[in-house]
Structure formats: structure tokens, C-alpha cells
Amino acid sequence: MEIGIIGFGSFGQLIAKELKRDFDVFVWNRSDRSGEAKKLGVNYVPIEEAASKEIVILATSISSFEEILKKVRAHIKKGALVADVCSVKEYPVGLMRKILPADIEILGTHPLFGPDSFKFKENRKIVLCPVRIKNGKLEGIKNYLEKKRYKMIITTAKEHDAAIARTQALVHFIGRILERMDLKEKEIDVMTYRKLLEIMDVVKNDSWQLFLDIEKKNKYAEKVREEFVKNAIRLNEELK
């Protein structure tokens, strides 16, 4: 089976490297990344070609999602499956429903790992939000992921976003605050301090755009950030 990947940034490259073990992978990226594709051993092709495969994975930034969907729509074949990998789900799922014709199948996904955490095999979890997909195809995908030992969580886009606002958006918010505090390794420290440094480093490795999108394109994230800030201020007041 042939898979097209639109967007060959840090996450697009991670999935291309994994999928090429089992599929013929065709990738496209806005800026020229043909060198990286050659190094990985995947086909670097024009956007029209990547979008015309049986399965098309959209892996560009969340903020460019609408523009990309409109660009690829005309090249996607009837009966093909379009899946996204965005770290938020209501926003891209809503756009896919609106922009893609009814004869194209849709699956929302959020792989709960990134280039840094992928090495921890036991942590490879993936959220699936079936939107418009035939049972047989969904079963095939589930079987494949199970064989690859991914832990699957099947849910709705809404439930995903409400949960991930606490379990990811909050972590990224705290990590970016720690970055602004310019936390450094110290000889006199405790183990939990090293965990803070770890959070800061992992979060810092993602692009700034991804941080903005995780915080701004999830409608539940602002409330969680405010709850955190309010509690930080309150606790500080109690200590005066």
C-alpha cells in the first residue's frame, strides 16, 4: 500500500521513518527537504502526487491546516482515507468535515509521542477519533497499530481536547515558563529539579508554532492556564 505524507517537518519525518518499514511512502514539504527524504529512503514528490495515495496523512503545522486541506482537496482520490496527526482535534476534524467531499474517508489521530519520547516503546500511545471511516478500514488500522504495540485510545475530538488541555497544553505552558526563567543544571539540587529541567528541554525542542497552536487552537486550554496562574498567585499570597 502507498501512503502520502504532506508535511515533512520533525513529526512528518518521524512517521515517515516508521511507516516506510511496511509501506511505500511518498512525502512532500513546502520548503525543500528532498535531502532529508533521500537520507530516510522515502520518495520526495510533488504535493499532487503525495495527495493522490490511498492513505494521505496531513502532518503540517496546525495553523496551516486549513490552507493545506484546500490545496490537496482536488488531488485526493475517491474512497481514499485522510488522517491528520494534529495535537488538537476539534479544529482539524471540523475542517476536514467541512472541506473534504463525502466520498473521502476521515480519521482524526493524535500520536501521544514526539521525536524525543518515541524511543520509550512502552509510552507509544495514539488517540483515534473516527469521523467518517468504513468499519473494515478502521479495523485494519487498529490491527496494524496493535501489531506495532501502540496503545490506542478511541474517543471523540471534544473529549480529546478537554483532556489534553490538562495533560499536554498545561505541561507545555509550564515548560515555556521554566525556559523564560532560564533554568540551568546545578550541582546542589534535588531529583525533582532535574525532572523540571527535563520538562523544559522536551518542550523547548518543539517548534514555537507548535506551542502556539497547542495553546490557541484548543478551546479548553486557556481555562486550564488561568486556573494554574490563579492558583500560583493565591499560593504565593498565602506565603507572604
Binding site for ligand NAP (CB under 6 A): 7-12, 29-31, 59-62, 64, 67-68, 85-87, 111, 114-115, 206-207, 209-210
- Which residues is 43 bridged to in the sheet? 26
**Shorter beta-carbon distance to ligand NAP: residue 84 or 105:** 84
Give min distance, CB of 123 to ligand NAP, in A.
12
Specify burial of residue 234 (Cβ count, 10 A radius: 0-12, 13-18, 19+): exposed
**Shorter beta-carbon distance to ligand NAP: residue 85 or 133:** 85
Residue 108 near residue 83, CB atoms below 8 Å = yes
Give the DSSP H/E element, type plus range, for residue 197: helix 191-205
**Shorter beta-carbon distance to ligand NAP: residue 209 or 231:** 209
Residue 88 near residue 218, CB atoms below 8 Å = yes
Give min distance, CB of 180 to ligand NAP, in A.
20
Give min distance, CB of 232 to ligand NAP, in A.
26
Residue 204 near residue 162, CB atoms below 8 Å = no
Give min distance, CB of 85 to ligand NAP, in A.
5
3-state helix, strand, coil in the chain (%, to 5): 55, 15, 30
Give min distance, CB of 58 to ligand NAP, in A.
8
Strands 81-84 and 105-111: parallel
Residue 113 near residue 124, CB atoms below 8 Å = yes
Give min distance, CB of 228 to ligand NAP, in A.
21
**Shorter beta-carbon distance to ligand NAP: residue 55 or 102:** 55
Residue 83 near residue 58, CB atoms below 8 Å = yes
**Shorter beta-carbon distance to ligand NAP: residue 134 or 220:** 220
Give the DSSP H/E element, type plus range, for residue 16: helix 10-19
**Shorter beta-carbon distance to ligand NAP: residue 94 or 114:** 114
* Type of residue at 73: R
Determine how many CB atoms are found less than 10 A away from the CB of residue 192: 7
